[in-house]
Structure formats: C-alpha cells, structure tokens
Amino acid sequence: MQPTSKLTKLICTSYIILFLLSPLLISTHTSELFEFPKILFVYASTIIITTIHLFNITKKSQPIFKKHPLNLPLLLFLLSQTISTLWSIDPHTSIYGYYSRFNGGLLSLICYALLFLILNVYITPQFKTKIINTSLVSGFIVSAYAILQHFGIDKNFWVQDVQQRVFSTLGQPNWLSAYLCILTPLAINRFLKSKNTSSKLLYFHLSLVFFIASLFTKSKSGLIALPISLLIYFILNLKQHSKQLLPLFGLLTILALTIPNPIKSKIFPTSTLNDSNHTIPSTINITPSQDIRKIVWQGAIKLWQQYPLFGTGTETFAYSYYWTRPAKHNLTSEWDFIYNKAHNEYLNFLATTGSFGFLTYFLLILISLFQLIHHRQYHLLASFISILITNLAGFSVVITSLYFFLIPTLAKPNQTTDTNPPQPTNFLFKLIIPIVSFYLLKQTWNYYQADLSYNQAQQYQQNQQLQTAQQHLQQAVKLRPSETIYISQLASVQAKLALSQSKTNQQFSQQLVQQSLDNIHSLDKLSPYNLNILKVKAQTYYYLSAIDKKYFSSAIESLVQASLLAPTDAKTFYLLAKFWQVGGNSNQAIKNYLQAIKLKSNYDHACFELAQIYLHQKQNKLAKQYLQQTLQIAPNNTQAQQLLQQIKP
C-alpha cells in the first residue's frame, strides 16, 4: 500500500485481526461456546472500525462510503430486514437473533453491512492480499486442530464423537465444512499463481490440509459444495493452468475416494454384515437428515404463504414454525428438537422476512455473482458459490456471513486509498463519536457479562444452589433487562426457592412468590409467542401451586396457550395431559393424551400414561390396548410388561 495515515493503517489492522481471530474464538465460560464469542467480536470490531473511520473522515474529509454496485441492493436488503423487525412477533429476537444462534439478527446484519461499506473505502490490491493471507493462516490453524481432533486429541473433552465428525473451533461439522469450502479455492488459486517453488509447495500442501479437514467433517452439504465450487474454478482456469490443475484434481479425487466420507460411501457402499455383535436395536430409528429437512421446508413454505409480504419477523422461525409445523415431524427422530432455523437460508428468509426480504437477498446474491464474474475473480467466485450451496441445506453462521458480505468487496480493489484535502469539522461531532463508541462497546461488554452470569446460574441450578443461582440471574437481568431467557429462568428459580422456604421463612417465601410472578407477567409482553417461555411459565406456576393451589390453573392456561400456538406438537399435548392428570382431571388428561398419540402414533410415554389412567378407572380393555401399544413401541418397558400381566383375560 502507498503511504497512508495512522488511522487508515489502524482500520486495515482491525480488519486483519477480524479475519484472523473470528474463526478461532471459543469460550468455555459462556452459555454457547462458539457462536457467541464470535458475534460479540464482530460487534466490537464493527464499533471500533466505524469509529476510526468516522475520525478519518473528519481528518481527511473523505466520503463516508464509496460507490459500489452492491451499495443500493445492500441498503434495500437492510430495509427489508428493518421492516420485518418492526412487524416482528418478537422484536427483541429479530434485533439480536435467537439466543444460542445470535447470527442473523438485524444488529448482526447492520454490522456486516457497515464492514462491507467501510472496507470498500480502504481496499487496495495489497490490502486484499493481506486479507486473503490472513484468512489462510487462520484457516490452517482451524484445519490443523480439526485433523488432530480426528486422531483423538480432545476426544474426552466433548460429549459428541468428535473423531467421527470434526468441528474444530467452529462448533459444528457443517459449519467447519462451509468455512473450509470458502478457503480451499483461495489456497488453490495461490498455488497456481505463485512464481517460486517454495510458495507453490506451501499453498499446495495448504490446499490438501483444507481438503482433508473437510473430508473429516463428513458434512454432506460441504462435500457437495466443495467439488462443485472447485469444478467451476478448475473449468474457468483449465486453459491457462491445465498442467497444474489436472494432477491436483486427480490427487483430490484419490483423497475423496480413500478417506471415509459420505461421497465415498455413495460410490462404494460397504456391505452390511449380519453379525450379532454389531446389530443395532430395532427401536433405534434415526431419520435421515434430508428427510427431516424436507418436512421443515414444507412448514417454512406454508409460513410464507400465510405471511407473504414481510414474514413473521427476522429470526423468529423458532417460534412461528410451530404454527405450520407438519404433523409428520413428530414421527422423526428429531421430533422434539427446537428448529430455530429452516435449515435452508433462502427459505428461512422467505418465512421470516417474506417476499420483500427474500427478493432483496436474492438481488444481493445476483449482483455479487455478476461482480465476481465481470472482474474475473474466479477464486472468489468459487468461494462465494460454495456459501450459496452450503446455505441450501443449512444456514449461515458468523464466519460464513462475514465472508458472504465481504467477498464481493475484494472483487475490484481500489488502486489507492484516495484522500481529500482536510476541511474543518464540527467539534461537537468529534466529541459525540467517542462517547457513542464507548457506550456501544460497554453494551457489548454487558452482553458478555450477562451471559457469563446466566451460564453460572445454570450450573448452580444443576447443583441445587438456588440462592446463588438467583443472584447470578438477577445480575444477568440487570445487565440485559429485556432478555427473556434470563427473566424466565429467574422466575423459575425464584419459584423453586419460594417453595423451599415456604415452611421455614414464610415472609421471605411470599416475597419470592411476588418477584416470580412479576417476572412471569413481564414475559407476556416481551415474548408472547415463544413456546419454550410458555412451558417455563407453566413449570413456574406449578412450583408456585405447591405453595398456593390457585396458581395451578395458571399453569394449565399457559400450556393451553402453548397448544394453540403449536397445534401439531405432540409433546405440548403430552405435557398438558400430565398437568391435568396431576390436577386430578382424568377426562382432560385422556383427551390430551389421545391428541398426543394422534399426532405421534409411536408416542410410547403417552400410551403408557393413558393405559395407567384406564387401569385406574378399571377400563381393562382400553388399558390392555394401550399397554400392548406401548410394548410394540418400547418392548423393554418392564413396568408395562408387569401391568399387562396383572390384567385378567
């Protein structure tokens, strides 16, 4: 780069740090280990970069942004997300993203947009080279760790079988694979363009490391995206680099057919041996992920049909999917999972932000592709296409979003970072910038501290240290007063604590009851469509009903409301039946157990509970029917076996 100001150098350094550290950040102290530290780092980086850029404007009188073909589509896209947030069924979630996912909320999208617009001001060929080099260095660290994971370096640390499917510092095999799909074309491009032998060897081996780590993820979406994106890159460069590409293509093919992965399994399926030592219990039925996704996609399309213009609100799929969730989802192995994304980025936008959000997103993609093709940036084109493919069967995370929004900026770097003669600037403007920046950084820090307190509270709850858990949750709520997950957990802990103190300290117990009720009531306004919140409310009222029976009806009301929001969720009807059963209303319990079984015919727990009610009512024929049905689903249920034997023929 040509000589530039210290502020410009500081901005460039901030971007380099962003690309270097974003994939690597992980925290064992937060409630979510991988995405949460990454998104907070993006928030902080955006604040710092924007602040320095604004100071640079005051010193050099530069335009805030430079012209770029993507500026208008990007602003239209942000407008669509803003409108969907304003009309959202849960504005807080639409702004910050679903808790535990975080990426995709309006705030994160604003950050990516600002990072794009500001990078476009400072990008030069030299700076572009540094960004790609930094990305490759970070990618090597991530890949090296992934390969070591495959050989068991941390197999005892994770609950998941990380040796079978590695995830490194990304947290999930599909996310790691999507990230490596972005980097592999960049490494291969460096291999082809390098002039000296040592550089060629370096980038050749780096390409192999990325490719091998990708195979170790065993991600179907990634292992579809990678060969397609590389094939496009190879075809576009074959005429110029055929002598290098053909041997490389052959080597990658050999690796793909040697290292165990889904592609190899499809081409060379292994024979299944009828070995008694390797039989899988017949009751275990893992539904193929593609079959589950098809069901979720059906629900997403129905949701869009009901809310075609602006959707249900940015990032609200976790709540609104239950409205159109196909009943056959109950018959899959992931029937009780929370689907906070549609597992298809495009359908996710369609369902949650409507046609306006989807079309502006599609326009953004089309113009990005046009720019990359027009400027013959085929390595960046391959990387960008890989993101589009992995998003077909998944969703974007922090690192893939970062590259999605910033890759188009690298298509045609400026030759220099132009500066204009200094002009006088308003002193008040210079004063406001650091104040606003400090406030935003403080809010980001508070977000981090609140999550630490929340995570500690979860641990104390597990150890039944309720008073300490309450203190940490109160601290979390103080730092983030509108975070419903903190408030709901605080209400639950206060109800449990009130129950434990009800015999020994009634005055303190009543104070806790009132505090718990206040927190529950605040949730009605903050998150009225959150099914999980409603279930926590029901549980909280249930604890309070042990102190005063009048609260039991409120527990039932919460679950009835949940059943109206999730008319095809078998588990909600099962819980409602359990509550009615505890309350002594057998008729309502039977009604809801039957509804649960209607929605999920293999619901063994519901069948067993229903059989016990019928047995208690001396309706032996019905009891026998549902006990037999229980054993057909769960033949190892010894209680059902014993009860069935007790029934007289």
Q: What is the pLDDT of residues 62-101, one digit of tens each?
A: 678 999 999 999 999 999 999 999 999 999 999 999 999 9
The answer to whether residues 509 and 558 belong to one domain is yes
Cα–Cα distance for residue pair 98/78, rounded to 1 Å: 18
Q: How high is the pLDDT of residue 532?
A: 96
Q: Is the pLDDT of residue 525 over 80?
A: yes
Give residue 282's pLDDT band: very low, low, confident or very high (50, 70, 90). very low
Q: Is residue 437 part of a domain?
A: no
Q: Please check whether residue 90 is in contact with residue 320, taking contact to mean a CB–CB distance below 8 angstroms.
A: no
Total number of domains constituting the chain: 3
The answer to whether residues 318 and 221 belong to one domain is yes
Query: Among 647, 613, 616, which Cα is nearest to 628's?
Result: 647
Q: Please check whether residue 384 is in contact with residue 408, taking contact to mean a CB–CB distance below 8 angstroms.
A: yes
Q: How high is the pLDDT of residue 25?
A: 98
- How far from the centroid of its chain's Cα atoms is residue 221's Cα? 16
Which helix (H) or strand (E) segment holds residue 570: the answer is helix 570-582
Cα–Cα distance for residue pair 53/64, rounded to 1 Å: 8
Residues whose CB falls within 8 Å of the CB of residue 329, separated by 6 or more in sequence, listed in order: 292, 295, 296, 299, 335, 568
Q: Please check whether residue 210 is in contact with residue 143, taking contact to mean a CB–CB distance below 8 angstroms.
A: yes
The answer to whether residues 176 and 255 belong to one domain is yes
Give residue 415's pLDDT band: very low, low, confident or very high (50, 70, 90). low
- Cα dihedral across residues 493, 494, 497, 498: positive or negative: negative
Q: Please check whether residue 547 is in contact with residue 516, taking contact to mean a CB–CB distance below 8 angstroms.
A: no
Domain finish residue from 521, 542, 568: 568
The answer to whether residues 479 and 593 belong to one domain is no
- What whole-number percentage of the chain has pLDDT above 70? 94
Cα–Cα distance for residue pair 119/18, rounded to 1 Å: 12
Residue type, 227: P
Q: How high is the pLDDT of residue 276?
A: 40
Domain finish residue from 410, 426, 445: 410
Q: How high is the pLDDT of residue 277?
A: 44
Which helix (H) or strand (E) segment holds residue 567: the answer is none
CA-based angle 232:116:15, to the nearest 5?
Answer: 95
Cα–Cα distance for residue pair 596/292, rounded to 1 Å: 20
Q: Is residue 327 part of a domain?
A: yes
Give residue 426's pLDDT band: very low, low, confident or very high (50, 70, 90). low
Which range in 155-159, 249-253, 572-576 is most confidently predicted, on average pLDDT? 572-576
Q: Please check whether residue 114 is in contact with residue 71, taking contact to mean a CB–CB distance below 8 angstroms.
A: no
Q: Please check whether residue 115 is in contact with residue 49, taking contact to mean a CB–CB distance below 8 angstroms.
A: yes
Tokens of 318: 């976790």
- Please write the tens of the pLDDT for every residue from 476-501: 999 999 999 999 999 999 999 999 99
Q: Is the pLDDT of residue 283 over 60?
A: no
The answer to whether residues 564 and 583 belong to one domain is no
Query: Among 477, 472, 469, 476, which Cα is nearest to 495's?
Result: 469
Residue type, 121: V
Cα–Cα distance for residue pair 591/586, rounded to 1 Å: 8
**Which CATH number do you get for residue 579?**
1.25.40.10
Tokens of 362: 């599609």
Residues whose CB falls within 8 Å of the CB of residue 309, separated by 6 or more in sequence, listed in order: 354, 355, 356
Q: Please check whether residue 88 is in contact with residue 351, taking contact to mean a CB–CB distance below 8 angstroms.
A: no
CA-based angle 391:50:409, to the nearest 5?
Answer: 45
Cα–Cα distance for residue pair 184/195, rounded to 1 Å: 19
Tokens of 312: 């249900």
Cα–Cα distance for residue pair 317/302, rounded to 1 Å: 12
Cα–Cα distance for residue pair 221/510, rounded to 1 Å: 54
Tokens of 231: 């094939």
Q: Please check whether residue 190 is in contact with residue 199, taking contact to mean a CB–CB distance below 8 angstroms.
A: yes
The answer to whether residues 630 and 485 belong to one domain is no
Q: Is residue 206 part of a domain?
A: yes
Compute how many other C-beta atoms are within 10 angstroms of the C-beta atom of residue 3: 6
Residues of the domain holding 516: 465-568
Q: How high is the pLDDT of residue 260?
A: 86
Query: Among 410, 401, 413, 440, which Cα is nearest to 112's?
Result: 401
- Please write the tens of the pLDDT for every residue from 128-176: 999 999 999 999 999 999 999 999 999 999 988 999 999 999 999 999 9
| Lowest-confidence region among 4-18, 369-383, 407-421, 496-510 | 407-421
The answer to whether residues 505 and 578 belong to one domain is no
Cα–Cα distance for residue pair 441/43, rounded to 1 Å: 8
Mean pLDDT of the residues in the chain? 93
The answer to whether residues 530 and 505 belong to one domain is yes
Query: Among 602, 577, 605, 601, which Cα is nearest to 591's?
Result: 577
The answer to whether residues 560 and 590 belong to one domain is no
The answer to whether residues 490 and 344 belong to one domain is no
- What whole-number percentage of the chain has pLDDT above 90? 85
Q: Please check whether residue 176 is in contact with residue 217, taking contact to mean a CB–CB distance below 8 angstroms.
A: yes
Query: Among 477, 409, 463, which Cα is nearest to 113's?
Result: 409
Q: Is residue 50 part of a domain?
A: yes
The answer to whether residues 258 and 158 belong to one domain is yes
Residue with tokens 């590389």: 230
Cα–Cα distance for residue pair 482/526, rounded to 1 Å: 7
Q: How high is the pLDDT of residue 270?
A: 67
The answer to whether residues 87 and 233 belong to one domain is yes
Q: How high is the pLDDT of residue 267?
A: 78
Q: Is residue 282 part of a domain?
A: no
Q: Is residue 434 part of a domain?
A: no
Domain finish residue from 387, 410, 433: 410
Q: Is residue 451 part of a domain?
A: no
Whole-number Cα distances in Å, 410 to 13, 116, 124, 132: 16, 10, 8, 9
Q: How high is the pLDDT of residue 412?
A: 83
Q: How high is the pLDDT of residue 421?
A: 52
Query: Among 408, 372, 382, which Cα is nearest to 230's?
Result: 382
CA-based angle 611:558:537, to the nearest 5?
Answer: 105
Q: Is residue 576 part of a domain?
A: yes
Tokens of 50: 């924007």
